[in-house]
Amino acid sequence: MPTVVRTAAELTNLGGPVALVPTMGALHDGHVQLMKHARPLADTLVASIFVNPTQFAPGEDFEAYPRTFDADLQRCEEAGVDVVFAPTLETMYPHGPDAGVTVDAGPLGSVLEGEQRPTHFRGVLTVVAKLFGLVRPDVAVFGEKDYQQLVLIRQMAAELCLGVDVVGCPIVREADGLAMSSRNVYLGAEERQRATALSRALDAGVAAASQGIDAVVTAARSVLEAEGIAPDYLALTDPDLGAPVPGQEARLLVAARVGTPRLLDNTGLVPHMSGHSPDSANSASEGA
């Protein structure tokens, strides 16, 4: 079983190099895949488990967020984790979660997820910066499901010279295509079936890539509409969340509520020149 530590002092004897997989617990196969991806990258593998209050806005599901610590430890053992860092709120926020220095996400933090949840990325980047400072990892592994988060953490690590190599791990999916998420447990049976429309919409977008940027978004939106799902956003961007360019790698991102749960998904593709118009990039990247 991994060693469980809760204070900064207990992190001082980690043998390096160190890999970190930050989580909020409620671990599933997707998290295990992140840890297995990180395992060969360092001598010591640390998984953190901390439900971070500052990335939840008022009215979001902080109190209801699933907490399954004993089961999480079993998952960590399965993945070869050496140390589980499960800090108290006081360890992470000694002056309280509403006080002290925070990390601003910059312009990319105000689009897509940031437009829907204006304080979210400030909370995410602040807690990740704190985890980097406490654990001092050489490499940190994050899932591509939260793609905008991955881009922003990479940007933060580079621009603030944190000395951490931020690695992305591909999305892990259920057999029916639904991206694995801790929030999937909130889906009822009928909602669970409807939720597969997100991955099916992405597949439709990929299939339409040869017809150009506009066709990608149109094809994806039609799948969502057929299930009565109105996305918070459906956007085609370049890999750094800028405007997509025909013939180059792009990212198709979607977020939508299916019942109560709010789900995210995305995929990579290369849109072709066909059907491209001068305003296509802007209209596609706005996308909601």
Residues marked as catalytic: 31
How far apart CA 218 and CA 220 sit, in angstroms, is 5
Q: Provide the terminal-to-terminal Cα distance of the chain, rounded to the nearest Å.
A: 45
Contact, 152 vs 160, CB < 8 A? no
How far apart CA 234 and CA 221 sit, in angstroms, is 7
Contact, 270 vs 249, CB < 8 A? yes
Residue 46: strand, helix, or coil: strand
SS (H, E, C) 227-259: CCCCCCEEEEECCCCCCCCCCCCEEEEEEEECC
How does DSSP assign 70-134, residue by residue? HHHHHHHHHTT-SEEE---HHHH-TT-TTSS------GGGGSTHHHHSTTHHHHHHHHHHHHHHH
* Counts for the chain of helices (H) and strands (E), in that order: 9, 9
